[in-house]
């Protein structure tokens, strides 16, 4: 508008007037007819295609919105299902851990009991071995005492004893020795 206001004073000064601003009835009719013909052609050929394209575009956008809403709903369902499965997995993991702890406690108790039994068996075997070794040592001592008694008697009497004399002499010497104190000390 400012440009038109600036041009009008100069056009009036030249005396001829500006043909763009001048009102001419013939030009106006032809302009209206051209505009009406363009509108009819556009209304018959272009507007239906444009409307169809716009409707297709609108339908496509609506379909995309519907698809995104369906996808969002499915994602929410999957998320809820995932959370439920995660909760179940946690519960199962806690159950597994509890069972493992219980099994470990049972295993530890069984191991301790087995170790205790093994220790007791080993102690009993050791006691039996000690007792057997003590009996063997006492037998060796008795035999040694018997041999020493026979040897000492032979030296003192300066004669060789008969087997009956040897047996009688050994029995008397062994009867005088107190082997019971040896068996009580280890018991």
pLDDT at 12: 47
SS3 label, residue 112: helix
23 backbone dihedrals φ, ψ, rounded to 5°: -90, 120
pLDDT at 52: 94
In a domain, 12, yes or no: no
Quote the number of domains for the chain: 1
CB atoms within 10 A of CB 170: 20
146 lies in which domain range? 24-186
Q: What CA–CA distances, in Å, run from 28 to 18, 25, 32, 93?
A: 15, 5, 6, 88
The C-alpha atoms of residue 18 and residue 3 are separated, in whole angstroms, by 13
In a domain, 9, yes or no: no
Residues of the chain with pLDDT under 50: 4, 7-8, 10-12, 186
The model carries a pTM of 0.39
Tokens 């000064």 -> residue: 13
Residue 179 DSSP symbol? -
pLDDT at 11: 47
pLDDT at 45: 92
Contacts for 166 with CB less than 8 Å, ≥ 6 apart: 150
pLDDT at 163: 77
CB 160 within 8 Å of CB 154: yes
Rounded to the nearest 10 degrees, the angle between the axes of helix 47-157 and helix 163-176 is 120
In a domain, 2, yes or no: no
Q: Which two tokens stand for residue 63?
A: 């379909």
In a domain, 128, yes or no: yes
CB 179 within 8 Å of CB 138: yes
The C-alpha atoms of residue 84 and residue 81 are separated, in whole angstroms, by 5
In a domain, 156, yes or no: yes
The C-alpha atoms of residue 142 and residue 173 are separated, in whole angstroms, by 10
The C-alpha atoms of residue 68 and residue 73 are separated, in whole angstroms, by 8
The C-alpha atoms of residue 173 and residue 166 are separated, in whole angstroms, by 11
pLDDT at 6: 52
In a domain, 18, yes or no: no
CB atoms within 10 A of CB 14: 8
pLDDT at 5: 53
The C-alpha atoms of residue 107 and residue 70 are separated, in whole angstroms, by 54
pLDDT at 91: 94
């Amino acid at each position: 508008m400012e440009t038109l206001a600036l041009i009008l004073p100069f056009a009036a000064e030249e005396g001829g007037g500006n043909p763009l601003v001048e009102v001419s009835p013939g030009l106006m009719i032809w302009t209206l007819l051209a505009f009406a013909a363009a509108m009819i052609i556009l209304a018959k050929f272009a507007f239906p295609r444009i409307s169809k394209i716009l409707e297709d575009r609108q339908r496509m956008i609506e379909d995309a919105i519907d698809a995104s809403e369906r996808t969002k709903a499915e994602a929410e369902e999957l998320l809820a299902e995932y959370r439920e499965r995660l909760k179940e997995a946690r519960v199962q993991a806690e159950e597994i851990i509890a069972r493992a702890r219980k099994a470990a406690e049972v295993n530890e108790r069984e191991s301790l009991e087995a170790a205790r039994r093994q220790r007791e068996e080993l102690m009993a075997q050791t006691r039996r071995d000690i007792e057997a070794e003590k009996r063997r040592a006492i037998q060796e001592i008795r035999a040694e005492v018997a041999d020493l008694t026979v040897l000492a008697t032979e030296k003192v009497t300066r004669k060789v004893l008969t087997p009956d004399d040897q047996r009688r002499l050994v029995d008397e010497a062994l009867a005088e020795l107190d082997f019971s104190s040896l068996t009580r000390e280890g018991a």
